[in-house]
Amino acid sequence: MTPIRRFLLPGSLLAAVATAAFITTDRAGALDDDALLQSSGPDVIVGDIYDNNEYGTLGGKSSYSFGTESCNIGSVPLAWIASTPQHPVIGQEMYRLKDGKFEMIGMSWLKHGFTALNLNLCNICSPTPGTSLGVGCSDPYSAFLNGYQTDLGPRAEVNAYTGAFPYPPTLSPPVNDVLDRRLIVDNADVDPALNGSARYFVEGHYIHPDDNAASGNGWNNMSWREINFSGGSAPWNVGFSGPTQREEPAIYAWEQIDPSVSISEKQLSGDGTIMVAHKATPTANGWEYVYTVYNRDSDRGINAFALPVAPTAQLSNKYFRDVDHHSGDTPDPTDWNAFEGTISLPPVPSGVRVMAWHTQTYAQNPNANAIRWGTSFTFSVEADTPPTQGYVAVRLFKPGAQQYAYIPAVVPQ
């Protein structure tokens, strides 16, 4: 076996990396919807995505919001205190599956929770005052509340790994129009006349300082539901299709629909989790390799993605799709640069041929367009060489001891 097939990792290092905190094509213990098991400590999940609003359209974009009902499946109440940093923040994301690519097409700012109603969606509720969500209890935030612009804060100030955030938010540019801070999508991405074969999914994501990746209960804080678009003009009408899929990110919708898709997870040292969904499909030119890189809750983020390619492989149709932050949130929307050539990555100094995409480093621009928590970027390329199991590499954005992570995936060898 040549080192390039396992992405730059020869000999003794291959075995070490191959067993280092990888979870491949598994849902990491996701719970059955009908058998919610109690976790130790507070544990908030999205029990249902149940409501939606369409607001307006401006400049080729439209805004939406969705209702989310959370549940505490943990063993102790979860703090829910308004006007402090002791409450959840709630994000919404939208994805499209079209032409074999699963892409994030929109996201919102974060709703700041203010009180818990203690209802019974997921279990028998042991109610507490509104300043906490009791054990077994649920709390609904309607689409109206999740889209109420002045109560939404930026994502950039939240550390999804620890759940920490300032309150009130320090970044608060004024609301100027019907789009600001809500879940914004390009009209062309959801126009039924242009996307007849596409399928769509909305995701809800809760972050809380007492229930996060660092505490061990943050892995199940997101759920998704399939939606559809109809109507003759923007903003398009939204309908739900099927039930809410609890305790997993929307990237699993792709695997559920397409059996050729695999998902690999990498738990970073002292940080959150990165997932790579990947597939290889035969084409007239050889094979199309598609990768969706999802940052579930890593605060450090990702600023480069690379896959090894055979020295003689012919590459074509290189593709990149990101999702833009908006409404004054700080990350730069500049697209990543594509790179094809030979580079050196630890631990191999001699260099191998890669197909890579990258943005600026943290030292160059702390607001560079990294793959930040709760977001996904999609990459693809066609190659005339067949797939084999190997590793792709991601470079971490914010400074830290670990610079690169290697994640199992199909690669063009």
**Domain architecture of the chain: domains with CATH:** 1-28+259-413 (2.60.40), 31-258 (no CATH)
Residue where the block lists tokens 């596409």: 198
* pLDDT digit string, tens, across residues 53-104: 999 999 999 999 999 999 999 999 999 999 999 999 999 999 999 999 999 9
**What pLDDT score does 34 carry?**
42
- Show Cβ contacts of residue 182 under 8 Å, excluding neighbours closer than 6 positions: 55, 63, 64, 65, 108, 109, 147, 149, 152
Average pLDDT of span 177-201: 98
Please, is 358 exposed, middle or buried when counting C-beta atoms within 10 Å of its C-beta (0-12, 13-18, 19+)? middle
Residue 308: CB atoms within 10 A of its CB come to 27
pLDDT tens digit sequence for 367-397:
999 999 999 999 999 999 999 999 999 999 9
Residue 396: other Cβ atoms inside 10 A: 23
Phi-psi region at 100: left, alpha or beta (left = phi > 0; alpha = psi -120 to 50): left
pLDDT band per the 50, 70, 90 thresholds, residue 347 = low
- Which pLDDT tens digit goes with each residue over 259-295? 999 999 999 999 999 999 999 999 998 999 999 999 9
pLDDT for residue 349:
61
Say how many CA atoms lie within 13 Å of 65 toward its Cβ: 25
Please tell me the distance from the alpha carbon of residue 112 to that of residue 90, in angstroms, as a whole number.
7
Mean pLDDT score of the chain? 91
| Helix runs in 225-358, H state only | 251-257
The pLDDT value recorded for residue 382 is 98
CA distance 258 to 285: 22
pLDDT the model gives residue 1:
28
Question: Which region among 2-11, 53-62, 74-83, 328-337 has the lowest average model confidence (pLDDT)?
Answer: 2-11
Burial of 284 (0-12, 13-18, 19+ CB in 10 A): exposed
pLDDT of residue 16: 35
